[in-house]
Amino acid sequence: MRQSFYPDRRYHRITDIDPAALSQEGIQGIILDVDNTLTTHNNPRPADGVISWLDQARACGLRLIILSNNRPQRVEPFARMLGLEFEANGKKPMAGGFLRACAHMGTVPEATAAIGDQIFTDVMGARRAGVLCLMVDPIEPEPGWFFRFKRRLERPLLRAWERRCSR
């Protein structure tokens, strides 16, 4: 059960992930989270370096799609600005949104990676769908008690993952 809470790999920011290395590993498509992965919470503009990273990923032949639990009114303008397809109301951590994103990109789960910042949505959903799970640190703390509560629950899981990786 604990495995479903562990990412395959962890990075500080999305820009620390090498798209060429993913492509060389056989990854053909990447499912991207929005808030605190590509930009700060509810920000209409991408974080520094994200546009360049997306261009690198495209240059490597990687297909890209946004999968977000957020509403279409939030996700669509952001995705369109970046030239990306999207799935809003993704119902993460259910596998269905990830599998629909794979189908939309024309990839199989085994040749797909997902990048996100939350264990209880991005990591669990990616694990359930059988895609490579790359977790990034949130760009900034989210507002509100609910996010603070979720981050507090994530801490022991991340510490356990780090101990496991250091062996």
In three-state form (DSSP H/G/I as H, E/B as E, the rest C), the secondary structure along 70-118 is: CCHHHHHHHHHHHCCEEECCCCCCCHHHHHHHHHHHCCCHHHEEEEECC
Residue written as token pair 């790999």: 9
Residue 150 or residue 90, greater confidence: 90
What predicted TM-score, i.e. pTM, was given to this entire model?
A: 0.88
Closest-CA residue to 125 (of 144, 109, 138): 109
Positive or negative, the Cα torsion across 73, 77, 78, 82?
positive
| pLDDT mean over 60-86 | 97
Q: What is the mean pLDDT of the chain?
A: 91
* Distance, first Cα to last Cα, the chain: 20
The residue ranges of every structural domain in the chain are 2-165
Structure confidence at residue 141 (pLDDT):
67
- Kind plus residue range of the DSSP H or E element containing 9: strand 9-11
| pLDDT mean over 22-28 | 98
What pLDDT, in 10s, does the model give residues 119-149?
889 999 999 999 999 999 998 766 676 666 6
**DSSP annotation of 39:** B
Structure confidence at residue 1 (pLDDT):
44
Fold observed for domain 2-165: Rossmann fold (3.40.50)
Structure confidence at residue 128 (pLDDT):
95
**Residue 143: both structure tokens together:** 């507002």
SS3 133: strand
Q: How many angstroms separate the CA atoms of 67 and 107, rounded?
A: 15
Cα–Cα separations (whole angstroms), residue 6 to 83, 94, 108, 109: 30, 16, 21, 17
| pLDDT mean over 103-124 | 96
Residue 85 or residue 6, greater confidence: 85
Structure confidence at residue 111 (pLDDT):
99
Structure confidence at residue 9 (pLDDT):
94
Residue 86 CB partners (closer than 8 Å, separation 6+): 65, 66, 67, 68, 75, 76, 78, 79
